[in-house]
Structures are given as C-alpha cells and as structure tokens.
Amino acid sequence: MNQMINKNPCRVVLLAYEQMNLLDLSGPLQALSIASRLFAGKGAPLYETHVVSAEGGLVMTSAGLSIMTLPLSAFDDMEIDTLIVAGGSKHDAFHSPPALVAWIAKRAPTVRRLCSVCTGAFLLAAAGQLDGKNAATHWDWIGRLHKLHPNIKIDGDKIFVRDGSVWTSAGVSAGIDLTLALIEADYGHQVAIATARQLVMFIKRSGGQSQFSVSLSAQLQANSDFAELHAWISAHLRDKLNVERLAEQVGMSPRTFARAYVAKHGRTPSKTVEAMRLEAACRALEETHLPLKTIAANNGYVDEQTLRRVFQRQLAISPTQYRSRFSPHQESGSKA
C-alpha cells in the first residue's frame, strides 16, 4: 500500500514484557512518532501508537528502565492495524509468556500486519504465526528458534524479512529498518527517507542487506588458524586468489589447505574470496562515486560485466540498482 496521508491514523500496538530489549520497543516507536510529527498539519497523524503488556502498568526492560504500558484487555474490542512484538530475554532460553502467546494467536487474524523485532519471533512462532513462513531473527538465536520450530524458513542473513502480512527482523537496530520499511509501504519513499534523516541514519537499509559482514565473521574467528589469511585476502582482493596462491600464503599444500579450511569454516576458500569481493564491491558502491569498471578492477573481477553477473546471481539486482538503494549519494558514476 503506497497511500497518501490518511484521514485516520494507523493504529500500531507495540507488545512489551519483562526483560524485553528497550531499543526493540523504543526504536520502532520513535520512528513512528517522528513520521507522524514530520507530517503533522497535513491531516490526522500518520500513526497512533500504544505500548501494551499482559497486565498493564510498569514493565522492567533488560536495560533496567521501566516503561508504562496499557493492559491487553484495553484492546480486545479495538481495531489494530499493525502489531509489533519486541524481543529480548534475560536468559539464554527464550520464555514465551502464555498470556501473550494466547493474545497474539487471537488477534493475529484481525490485524493487517504482524511484526516482530529480534527474538520477538519466538513469540510469533509460539502463537503459530510463523509456521511454514520465511522469517528473520537475531543471528545468535537462529539455532534455538530452528530447534523449537523447525518448520520455519529462517533467513540467517537478512536484517528483515516480509512474508505476506508477517514482517520479522533481526536484532535491535534492525527493528528501526523494519519500521522504516513499514512507513514506506504505508506512505511512500519520501516519508520514509525524511524519517530516516531525522533519526540521523546514514542510509535507510532494505531487508536485503546482511546482518553480519564477511569481515566481521572472520574477526570472530580470531583464534582460527586462518585469521591472518583473511586479513591478507581483504588487502589483496584484486590479485589472483586461487587455492594454490592461498595455500602458499599459509605454507601448506593446496590439498591439505583446502581440506583444513573447509573443516574449520564449513565452506571452500573460493567461497570466502567470492563473499569478501562482493562485500567490498558493495561497500564501494555505497561509499564512493567510482565507476563500475574501477570497482570491478579493484576487487578482482575480470571486467565490469563479470561484476554485473555476480550481483545478479547473488543479490538479484544490478550494481547500479544496489547503489541507488544503499548509497547516500544521489548520483552514480555509471549506468546499469
């Protein structure tokens, strides 16, 4: 829905509970508030927001700050446009309060959109709302969600995922990205961008962007035998980086190196090189005006056409489309 300013605001209910993440709630709430404030005077506010909990009253967040909430019962007979479930957990295992699960299951069929931030996906799943659907959650909770609900198609990479009327996002700040996407779906790109600008966000990220960069993943493997190799690869992306060259760098035979690398990282060295080159090319498109030909050469691609093919295969968009979506710059240095 790409509508103009509504005569009546969209009623958004944000679900809170003990030990939830404060930013999972306050991030989306602030984005919705800013969108409404920016376009005040052009009709009714864009959004009418309410923070609710099982019993109402003060709810303690994991940050140690209490927030005031309304009880679920206050909305039993009230129309809800969008329901957003925050994430957060005090312990390593997520506890889904039965009262919230039952209420979500009851209200889900009546809302236009059902959303979760971070581990809020566990609540939606417990309420039977993610069965057979594509969904996202915080990268550190993917395994636990899959173990409890193996029929959910969890995307461990994207910062948020939309499957029909159900929207789920990765951890913490990704809830703001999801909310900006909701605003864009409701009121268009310019309203979403104006809201992002007020939030002082560098760019408005789409769901297709990754939660976790290749380089950051490599840094987490600090005790890996190949930590220094990853740093070397990132500094030599324009070189010919076949297995023989990489094996030489670590002082191993190609066969032994390839076998040891797969055992350690679960993928071939060539897949790591490919991922790091793509990530570097994406970063160049986001941060520079360099033409595609230069970006391709700087990152080890044979030519510009090879770069285009990789983007279409891996991201299903062209490099120029990627730049127009993710770069804060208004002009790109080349054509698609």
List of domains in the chain: 10-198 (3.40.50.880), 214-326 (1.10.10.60)
Token readout for 85 is 């479930």
Q: Which residues pair with residue 14 across a beta bridge?
A: 51, 84
What pLDDT is stored for residue 210 in this prediction? 53
SS3 172: coil
Rounded to an integer, the average pLDDT of 266-288 is 87
Picking from 10, 18, 6, 130, the residue whose alpha carbon sits closest to that of residue 66 is 18
CB-based contact 139:170 (threshold 8 Å): yes
Instruction: Name which residue leads in pLDDT, 276 or 212.
Output: 276
Q: Which of 26-40, 41-55, 74-88, 113-127 is predicted with the least confidence, judged by mean pLDDT?
A: 41-55
Q: Is the pLDDT of residue 223 over 50?
A: no
Q: What is the pLDDT of residues 160-177, one digit of tens each?
A: 899 999 999 987 788 898
CB-based contact 194:142 (threshold 8 Å): no
Q: What is the pLDDT of residues 20-71, one digit of tens each?
A: 999 999 999 999 999 999 887 666 789 999 999 999 999 999 999 999 999 9
Angle 243-250/254-265 helices, nearest 10 degrees? 90
Averaged confidence pLDDT in the chain = 85
For residue 87, CA distances in Å to 24, 201, 261 come to 6, 22, 35
Q: Is the pLDDT of residue 238 over 80?
A: yes
SS3 161: strand
CB-based contact 265:275 (threshold 8 Å): no
Q: Is the pLDDT of residue 294 over 90?
A: yes
Looking at the chain, the whole-number percentage of residues with pLDDT higher than 70 is: 86
The DSSP secondary structure of 195-219, one letter per residue, reads HHHHTT-SS---TTSBSS-HHHHHH
